[in-house]
Amino acid sequence: MNDFDYQNNEFNIQNENFYQNFIEQCESFLDKILKVNGLTLENIYQQNKIKEEFKDFKGIFLNGSEKLGDGVVCLCECFTDGVPLAGVLLFCKKDTSIEEITSYIIRAILCEYPIFFCLAKTDFLSEEKKNYILEMIIDLISRVKDENKLFKMNSCLVIINDNLEDDLCKSLFRLKFIKTLDIPQEKKKTI
C-alpha cells in the first residue's frame, strides 16, 4: 500500500472534499492494480465480447424465455460463444439493492466495448425498484445524449424475463430506443 499516498491525512467527514478525494484515491488504486497486472476492461470482458456476426446488436433489447436460466445461457452462448461472467449478468431477486442495479445499468449502457450484458428476472423486484430501473435508463440515456448527440451504445443489454406482461417490460416497450430481441433464424443455435 506504500505506492498509494493518501492526500488528506485528516479523517474529517465534514470536509467537503473527503468523498471526492476518497473516490479519486480508489480510482487511482484500481488503475494502478490494472496496469500492474496488464489488465484492461476490454480483456477482462473478452469472454463476453459479441461475435462479429452479432455486431449490429447494440443497444437495449427485451426478450422473454419460459426457462429463464437456460435462456440466459443460450443467449450468451449465441452472442459470445461463452458463458456469462458475473460482471455482465444480473439475476434480480427481491433483495437486489438499488446500488447493485445502478452500478450494473451504468456499466452496461456506458461500456465502451461490444460486450453482451444480461439483466434477468426484473419481475422479482418491487414496484419501486422497477420504476427506478425505468427512470434510470431514461435519465442515463438522455443525459449521455445531451452530452454527446451522436452517442450510440457499444454494448448489448438484454433484459430477459419469463413474463413480458410485467409493468416494467410494458413501460420499456414504449421507449423508442428499446427493441425486441429478434435474432434471425440462421443465427440462432438453440435459443
Q: Is the pLDDT of residue 187 over 80?
A: no
- pLDDT for 81-100, tens place per residue? 888 888 899 999 999 999 99
67 and 117 part of one domain? yes
pLDDT computed for residue 127 by the predictor: 93
Q: Is the pLDDT of residue 43 over 70?
A: yes
Q: Is the pLDDT of residue 185 over 80?
A: no
Neighbours of 103 (CB within 10 A): 13
Structural domain total, the chain: 2
| Degrees, nearest 5: CA angle 87-90-93 | 145
pLDDT computed for residue 90 by the predictor: 93
User: Virtual CA dihedral for 87, 55, 123, 165, nearest 10 degrees?
Assistant: 180
Specify whether the CB–CB gap between 104 and 90 falls below 8 A. yes
Helix (H, G, I), strand (E, B) or coil at 119: strand
What integer is the mean pLDDT of 135-161? 89
70 and 22 part of one domain? no
Phi-psi region of 141 (alpha: psi -120 to 50; beta: other; left: phi over 0): alpha
Q: pLDDT higher for 157 or 71?
A: 157
User: Mean pLDDT in the chain?
Assistant: 83
pLDDT computed for residue 2 by the predictor: 47
59-68, 78-87, 109-118, 179-188: segment of lowest average pLDDT: 179-188
113 and 60 part of one domain? yes
Helix (H, G, I), strand (E, B) or coil at 115: strand
Specify whether the CB–CB gap between 181 and 74 falls below 8 A. no
What integer is the mean pLDDT of 150-176? 88
89 and 134 part of one domain? yes
What integer is the mean pLDDT of 46-55? 88
174 and 137 part of one domain? yes
* Phi/psi at 51 (5° precision): -65, 155
pLDDT computed for residue 93 by the predictor: 92
4 and 64 part of one domain? no
Q: Is the pLDDT of residue 4 over 80?
A: no
12 and 64 part of one domain? no
Q: What is the H or E stretch that residue 179 is in?
A: strand 178-180
pLDDT band at 120 (very low <50, low <70, confident <90, very high): very high
Q: Is the pLDDT of residue 22 over 60?
A: yes
What does 94-110 look like in DSSP terms, one character per residue?
A: TT--HHHHHHHHHHHHH
Q: pLDDT higher for 135 or 86?
A: 135
Q: Is the pLDDT of residue 156 over 90?
A: yes
60 and 33 part of one domain? no
CATH number at residue 85: 3.40.50
Q: Which domain holds residue 34?
A: 1-39
Specify whether the CB–CB gap between 93 and 134 falls below 8 A. no
Q: What is the pTM of this model?
A: 0.77
146 and 97 part of one domain? yes
pLDDT computed for residue 3 by the predictor: 53
